[in-house]
Amino acid sequence: MVKAEEDTQFNYHRKKNIAAERKEAKQEKEEADRYQRLKDEVVRAQVQLQLFKLFHNEAEIGRLHKELALKNREIDKDKRRMDRVEDELRERKKELGKMLREQQQIEKDIKWVAPGGLTCVPSAPNGSWRPWWLLVALTRVWRP
């Protein structure tokens, strides 16, 4: 009878231990599932964060492209204006050079002294010469 009680008690403890092990295994499985769910949730949250950052980076890139295009148009406009001003400056320098050469020629012509002591200058396209005082009188009346 002692053997039967010991066997009964052994079976009872064995069933109790098996139930405890099952309960512990079930809890470990639930904890592992919960951990995996949280891990998956963290991954989804990180993906959402990266998508959010990507969206806003693309929006910023678009804004910067528009701003760059505007600045490039302004630069092109300023370059065209600068080209026009430089062309005008070249033309005016060319005119100044012509006027300075004409002035030098006139000064040179004015300094020519005609035979007999009168200062004369060429005044007509045919090369005739006139006294300097006539040239002065004509320049006061006629201004090119």
Tokens describing residue 90: 């070249």
Considering the domain architecture, whether residues 20 and 55 belong to the same structural domain is answered as yes
Higher-confidence position of 20 and 117? 20
Considering the domain architecture, whether residues 16 and 59 belong to the same structural domain is answered as yes
Considering the domain architecture, whether residues 15 and 68 belong to the same structural domain is answered as yes
> How many domains, in total, are found in the chain?
2
The answer to whether residue 127 scores a pLDDT higher than 70 is: no
Instruction: Give per-residue pLDDT as tens, 42-90.
Output: 999 999 999 999 999 999 999 999 999 999 999 999 999 999 999 999 9
Considering the domain architecture, whether residues 43 and 96 belong to the same structural domain is answered as yes
Q: How far apart are CA 51 and CA 49, in angstroms?
A: 5
Within 8 A by CB and 6+ apart from 134, the residues are 123
Considering the domain architecture, whether residues 86 and 119 belong to the same structural domain is answered as no
Taking phi over 0 as left and psi of -120 to 50 as alpha, with beta for the rest, 116 belongs to left
CB atoms within 10 A of CB 109: 15
Considering the domain architecture, whether residues 122 and 75 belong to the same structural domain is answered as no
Across the chain, the runs of DSSP E, i.e. the strands, are 120-122, 129-131
Considering the domain architecture, whether residues 20 and 64 belong to the same structural domain is answered as yes
In terms of residue numbers, what domain contains 82?
Answer: 2-111
Tokens describing residue 4: 């039967």
Tokens describing residue 66: 């528009």
Considering the domain architecture, whether residues 106 and 131 belong to the same structural domain is answered as no
Considering the domain architecture, whether residues 60 and 10 belong to the same structural domain is answered as yes
